[in-house]
Amino acid sequence: MRSLFTAVATMIVGASTLLTPATASAAVLGGPDLAGYCNYKHRTNVLYSAGPLNLFSAYSWRCTLPPGIPTDDIDVNAACRWKYGKGAYGFTTNPGWAHSWQCRR
């Protein structure tokens, strides 16, 4: 009886580990340099900056020309790869806040 109990317990524990999703944690590399990426992307003598159109949207970042004229969307994944190299990607900790971007790998 004891060996049957041990066998059943072993199967339950084994099955539960197969059904539990693996918790992969990505390393936080730091924040993206969105203004630097805009300057890299446009490669002109004009000094670009970056700013959100809406503080309450992480997806509203634009490259901007002086005096703050928005020009084009920013690909945060590309900005993270530019700053941190291959495999880096953008991750927002709060889509409802513009300043919530991190780069991870």
Question: Could you say which residues of the chain have pLDDT below 70?
Answer: 1-24
pLDDT in tens, 61-81: 999 999 989 999 999 999 999
The model's pTM is 0.75
Residue 25: its pLDDT value, please?
83
Q: Which residue has the tokens 């300057």?
A: 39
**DSSP symbol at 45:** S
Q: Phi, psi (5° rounding) for residue 32? A: -75, 150
Nearest to 46 by CA among 29, 27, 67, 61: 67
